[in-house]
Amino acid sequence: MDDGLPPLREVIAAHGLAAKKSLGQNFLLDLNLTRRIARAAGPGETFFEVGPGPGGLTRALLAEGAARVVAVERDARCIPALEQIAAAYPGRLEIIEGDALSLDTATLFDGPVRIAANLPYNVGTALLVKWLTVENWPPFWSSLTLMFQREVAERLVAKPDTEHYGRLSVLVQWRAKAKILFDVSRSAFVPPPKITSSVVRIEPLNEPVADARLADLERVTAAAFGQRRKMLRQSLKVLSPDAEKLILAAGLDPTARAETLSVADFAALARVFFN
Ligand code: SAM
Q: Check residue 30 and give its pLDDT.
A: 93
Are 68 and 46 in contact by the 8 Å Cβ rule? The answer is yes
pLDDT at 106: 82
User: What rounded mean pLDDT belongs to the chain?
Assistant: 96
Sheet holding 46-50, edge to edge: 93-97, 68-73, 46-50, 113-118, 141-149, 197-204, 176-184
Report residue 229's pLDDT band, with 50, 70 and 90 as the boundaries: very high
Q: Is the pLDDT of residue 32 over 80?
A: yes
Distance CA 128, CA 145 (A): 10
Report residue 110's pLDDT band, with 50, 70 and 90 as the boundaries. confident
Nearest residue (CA) to ligand 1, atom 12: 51
* Percent of the chain whose predicted confidence (pLDDT) is above 70: 100
pLDDT at 254 over 90: yes
Ligand 1 pocket test: which of 23, 95, 104, 122 has the largest number of ligand atoms within 8 Å of its C-beta?
A: 23
Q: What is the pLDDT of residue 129?
A: 96
Q: Are 8 and 31 in contact (CB under 8 A)?
A: yes
pLDDT at 234 over 80: yes
Q: Is the pLDDT of residue 63 over 80?
A: yes
How far, in Å, from the CA of 210 to the mean position of ligand 1? 35
Question: What mean pLDDT is predicted for residues 240-266?
Answer: 98
The tens digit of pLDDT for each residue in 145-197 reads: 999 999 999 999 999 999 999 999 999 999 999 999 999 999 999 999 999 99
**Which residues, judged by CB distance below 6 Å to any ligand atom, belong to the binding site of ligand 1?**
23-28, 50-53, 56-57, 72-75, 78, 99-101, 118-120, 123
With bands split at pLDDT 50, 70 and 90, how would you rate the model's confidence at 85?
very high
